[in-house]
Structure 1
Amino acid sequence: MHDNNETPDYLQMILTRTRNDMRLAFTIFSQLFAELPEQLDGIQDALNRRQYDLARQITHKLHGSMSFCGIENIRKQAEHLEQCLVNKNYDAINRYWFQLQQCALDFTKQQQTLLSGLSGDNV
């Protein structure tokens, strides 16, 4: 039905994590969609101010949320960025930050579809 190499099946990931509890999955994704832009803005602001420890803290929280939900593409990029910040590898920060933003954008573009699929509002 879908090509796993192209588009991750976020619905299947969250339903697996929640043991097919649609209401819980909807709540978790709603929370993710609410927090993700705030976290990204916080990371961007901290990086702009060279507050690398704060950027690492926010990235760590984002990493944990994505791990819990099984959102592997964002989780991996958050992990890479977090490691760069921990290791003070400032040269690689921009690359991983850009990749993290791209993965997050791809995810958020599917917000309406994902939440509709979990709420039973399939059109």
Structure 2
Amino acid sequence: MILTDLSILIADDNEMNRWLLAEQLGCWSDDITLAVDGREAWHFLQYQKYALVFLDVNMPGLTGFELVKKVRAGSANESSQVIAVTAHVQSHQKHLLIADGFNDCLIKPIVLADLQRIISAWRTPTGDADSRYYANSVLEKVDSNRELGRQFLKKLFQELPVQLVKLEQALQGQSAELALDITHKMHGSFCFYGFNDFRNIAGRLEDSLIAGELAEARQHFQQLLEKCNRLLGMQADVLTCIGTERL
């Protein structure tokens, strides 16, 4: 199935690697941009927003490591999903790449199953997500067990308002350590539920708190608060959707 809303950038100085990855990703998108090196990739990343960015970590000009730092420091793709592509990292070392700013890692030679995992894990809704998006995200996590999905959602809807109040109080009281602890738990919850749009914002909030940037953290909190309030406002619809056989 072609997902024409899924814009993708592939940056690799090896022509064969670029072509092969583009051919594989063609299963999911017909909106794929190719960059021949890190400098060309940076040109695209400054002005064009992509849903997924695949960066070879060892490119000339600008390496993938240098690029992801520039992207996270401020660009049109500051919150995009950036995937490291490398043949020189073992699976148990992926956390090192994530610590450098990548969202995930693909290890060469790349197989379709790994790309499927990336697409499923990191695809975010375009615009404001609706009730069906959240219901389907939970169903994917619970292997389509609707009753279990409803239980998990009810637990989230009960805990979320309490967490938001505690987080706001911690930020107002300049308690960065407490705010980080609450944010980390919320971030983990959004990852568990598969709410990628929430996970992106919570991740940026967590990064700001780790860096000690409280003013920036408060801005991210306001974004998170607005999204959470919208989600809580549609909770009845989400629960209805998760109980519907055909979504």
What is the TM-score of this pair, normalised by structure 2?
0.46
Match of 1:58 in 2: 182
Shift of 1:115: 1.4
Within 5 Å, give how 1:44-123 maps onto structure 2: 44-119=168-243
Please say if 1:5 is aligned against 2:129: no
Number of equivalent positions: 118
Separation in structure 2 between the aligned mates of residue 91 and residue 48 of structure 1, nearest angstrom: 10
The residue identity in structure 2 corresponding to 1:88 is: G
The answer on whether the counterparts of 1:56 and 1:85 sit within 8 Å (CA) in structure 2 is yes
Higher helix share: 1
95-104 or 28-37, which moves further after superposition? 95-104
Q: Bigger CA drift: 88-97 or 39-48?
A: 88-97
1:18-59 Cα deviation digits (max 9, x unpaired) = 110001100110000000001100100111111110000000
Decide which structure has greater strand share: 2
| Identity fraction in percent | 28
**Shift of residue 110, structure 1, vs aligned partner:** 1.2
SS across alignment from 2:212: coil
The unaligned stretches of length 5 or more in structure 2 are 6-124
Higher relative contact order (Cα pairs below 8 Å, separated by 6+ residues): 1
- Ranges in structure 1 where 5+ consecutive residues have no aligned partner: none
Note if contact 1:73-1:103 (Cα within 8 Å) is conserved in structure 2: no
CA RMSD of aligned residues (A): 1.5
